[in-house]
Amino acid sequence: MNVLLIQPFGNESNNNYPPMGLLYISAYLRKYSQHIPKIIDLRADRSRIEDHLDEIIQFNPGVIGLTGMSIEWSAIKYITTYLKARVNDNVVFIAGGPHSTIFSKMVLQHTPVKYVVRGEGEVSFVELLKCIQEKQSAADVKGISYLSDNDTVRHNDNRDSIADINDIPFPAYDLIDVEKYFLNPHFHGNLNTSKRVLPLISSRGCPFRCKFCHHSFGHKFRARSADNFIAEIDFLVKKYSIREIQIEDDAFNMDIDRAKLIFKRIISGKYDIKIAFANGIRGDRIDDEMVDLFKKAGVYRIHFGIETSVARVRKLVDKEYDMNKVNAAINAINKAGISTHGFFIIGFPTESEEEIRMDIDYAVKSKLATANFSILKIFPGTPFGDEYPDQHVPYSDDFSFSYDSTRTNLSLVSNDRLKKLQRHAAIKFYFYPKRIARIIRTSPSVVGIFTKNFAMVLGLILHGKTKY
Ligand code: B12
């Protein structure tokens, strides 16, 4: 069966991060089925679905699948409704990815989507396509939700995670025009040393239970072997001459020995690439040997998910880590000349203005080079979402789902005050002489950081929105 997979482009999604979810399920599809995948990424070239209609009709898909974050919800709705009216009636619409996983009912009731694949999608998708092709019921396919004949929403049992992720083939980059992403890459943290940059994922899952997080890949940490991961770097360097990788794991250094082995292999492989930990790394699982390996291997930027430095709030959020170890890691990495970034969240339930200010002071005085201060969103499917079932972020527009909106606020601070504190945090953090000197010293491209990162900060200060 021809399977068309679409990455939507929404008003709020101003990045051109490659559609990793679609690239992985396509590769898996090709390895474990006869189906023929095709990917259309509207975000990569800011194109409209209307621009691709002829191409879609010609491909004649049996299934059309969409991915997307919540900030891309209106685009998911528009694209599925637009195509439903123009492709033949037998086409089955399927959705997956962060938004559809946590808002499966909303997606099934407000779009022509017949099935939602929740969470890790590879195995569920292959099984579901088999049912669709053989016109069998999908009632026993784990990990999916769908509209039953009487239009009630059915959620089949969750699927166990893939035990050995070394079984999953490398992302199917041949299904996209990779050169297009090298034109003006702005992925994660929008800071890159080269335009020939791609994201890599060396593990899935995170054992920690931070209450605001989706835990997209569950709590079991499943790691690719160093051989498997290095083979992908080798492939991307040889095939696409990449000069930089951005590691997107949720918990890359859970297994410290594996992490060190990977970096020893990158060093011995002489790949001459730059590396960023764009989605954060566990600051409490870093030692001097790891910092040394990072430096030698070309790591130039590391993000830390600090979220809050205030002990009472960290406990409340189940954000377990030893702050002394995290501070020691930030200091050592900064001393090694590697640029550091801190993710902070303000507006936690019962959080006071005083606690938010304590957190801002911590950030300002820290050795971090850059930071961003997001405002908590309570999404369904997160521990906070279970704890506050009637406080899920209400939808009025895609910005509602952005970490810059104040659509959910259970803190002791008013929405306006919270927004003012977010601006105050950015101003106090960035307009601090020592920080400016640190940014200049540790940034791979001073021009880049002032044009891109400061533009992001100014956008937040002036317009209350972080433009990625
Ligand atoms: C890289 C990243 C980014 C990138 C781009 C992400 C993107 N997809 O476009 C950037 C930096 C731009 C980004 C920004 C934001 N992000 Co972000 N990001 C990530 C991160 C760390 C990795 C994404 C990734 O590559 N995952 C790996 C791929 C393989 O996973 P996947 O896409 O989920 O695909 C799998 C399944 O979902 C499924 N699947 C996916 N699509 C489909 C489609 C079909 C048809 C099927 C069958 C299956 C299927 O199969 C795939 C393989 O198993 C994730 C965390 C995570 N671990 O995923 C957060 C995450 C996606 N981000 C999140 C959020 C909230 C944001 C922000 C909105 C936060 C903010 N500041 O406001 C911003 C938005 C910024 C903006 N305005 O553009 C949330 C999403 C929540 C939601 N409901 O949308 C996540 C899940 C983080 C979290 N743990 O809570 N992010």
Residue ranges with strand state E in 191-334: 197-200, 203-204, 222-223, 244-247, 274-281, 299-307
Closest-lying ligand 1 atom to the alpha carbon of residue 199: 25
Q: Are 309 and 323 in contact (CB under 8 A)?
A: yes
Mean pLDDT of all residues belonging to the chain: 94
Tell me: do 279 and 370 sit in the same domain. yes
The alpha carbon of residue 290 and the mean position of all alpha carbons in its chain are separated, in whole angstroms, by 24
pLDDT at 189 over 70: no
| Structural domain count of the chain | 2
Is the residue at 176 inside a domain? no
What is the Å distance from ligand 1's center to 21 Cα? 8
Q: For the residues 332-339, what does the mean pLDDT come to?
A: 96
The Cα 56–Cα 105 span in angstroms is 27
Of 232, 329, 315, the residue nearest 273 (C-alpha):
232
β-pair partners for 223: 203
Is 214 found in the same domain as 105? no
The answer to whether residue 433 sits within a structural domain is: yes
Q: Report the percentage of the chain scoring pLDDT > 90.
A: 82
Angle between helices 415-430 and 433-442 (to 10 degrees): 60
Which amino acid belongs to residue 339?
A: S
Neighbours of 334 (CB within 10 A): 19
**Pair 149, 213 in one domain:** no
Q: Which residues line ligand 1 (CB under 6 A)?
A: 5, 12-15, 17, 20-22, 24-25, 65-67, 69-71, 94-99, 102, 117, 120-122, 125, 188, 201, 213-214, 216-217, 248, 250, 279, 374, 379, 402-403, 466, 468
Claim to verify: residue 12 and residue 60 sit in the same structural domain: yes
- 257: domain CATH number is 3.80.30.20
Residues 67 and 119 in one domain: yes
Least confident piece of the model among 167-181, 207-221, 322-336, 380-394: 380-394
pTM metric for this prediction: 0.96
User: Hey, whose CA ends up nearest to atom 35 of ligand 1?
Assistant: 21
Q: For residue 190, is pLDDT > 90?
A: no
Q: Are residues 191 and 312 in the same domain?
A: yes
Q: What is the pLDDT of residue 357?
A: 97
63 vs 392, which has greater pLDDT?
63
Q: For residue 111, give every residue at least 6 positions away whose Cβ sits within 8 Å of its Cβ, in sequence order, or none.
A: 76, 77, 80, 81, 93, 95
Distance (Å) of CA 340 to CA 105, 259, 337, 401, 414: 39, 19, 9, 26, 31
* pLDDT band with cut points at 50, 70 and 90 for residue 395: confident
288 and 222 assigned to the same domain: yes
In this structure, which residue's CA is closest to atom 49 in ligand 1?
Answer: 96
CA of 68 to the centre of ligand 1 (A): 7
Residue 172 near residue 23, CB atoms below 8 Å: yes
The tokens for 319 are: 């954000």
For residue 431, count other CB atoms closer than 10 A to its CB.
Answer: 12
The CB density around residue 152, as the number of other CB atoms within 10 Å, is: 9
At 458, the amino acid letter reads L
**CA–CA dist 194, 184 (Å, integer):** 10
Same domain, yes or no, for 270 and 139?
Answer: no
- Write down the pLDDT at residue 168: 98
Pocket test of ligand 1: the residue of 16, 17, 30, 69 to mutate, having most ligand atoms within 8 Å of its CB, is 69
Cα 229 to Cα 427: distance, rounded to the nearest angstrom: 40
pLDDT of the residue at 393: 80
For CA atoms 431, 432, 435, 441, the dihedral sign is positive
Q: Return the pLDDT at 467.
A: 66
CB 94 within 8 A of CB 131: no
| Angle, vertex CA 445, rays to CA 186 and CA 293, nearest 5 | 90
Q: Which two tokens stand for residue 388?
A: 């506050």
Which residues is 4 bridged to in the sheet?
38, 64
Q: Which domain holds residue 342?
A: 185-463
The pair phi, psi for residue 373, each rounded to 5°, is -115, 100
245/204 same-domain check? yes
Question: Is the pLDDT higher at 144 or at 453?
Answer: 144
In a domain, 167, yes or no: no
On the question of pLDDT at 396 being above 90, the answer is no
Nearest Cα residue to 5 out of 80, 86, 98, 70: 80
What CA–CA distance (Å, rounded) separates 358 from 363?
A: 9
Going edge to edge, which strands form the sheet with 2-7? 36-41, 2-7, 63-66, 92-96, 115-117, 144-147, 153-155
Beta-carbon count within 10 A of 55 CB? 11
> Does 65 map to a domain?
yes
The answer as to whether 174 is a domain residue is no
Q: Are residues 142 and 97 in the same domain?
A: yes
Residue 468 lies inside a defined structural domain of this protein: no
Residue nearest ligand 1's atom 7 by CA = 17
The CATH number of whichever domain residue 6 belongs to comes to 3.40.50.280
Rounded to an integer, the average pLDDT of 245-262 is: 97
Is 26 inside any structural domain?
Answer: yes
Given 116, 140, 155, which residue is the final one in a domain? 155
Residues 443 and 300 grouped into a single domain: yes
> Which residue lies with its CA nearest to atom 70 of ligand 1?
403
Question: What distance in angstroms lies between residue 456's CA and the mean position of ligand 1's atoms?
Answer: 20
The ligand 1 atom nearest the CA atom of 171: 29
254 with 190, same domain: the answer is yes
Q: Does some domain include residue 95? A: yes
Nearest CA to ligand 1 atom 11: 188
What average pLDDT does the segment 89-94 reach?
Answer: 97
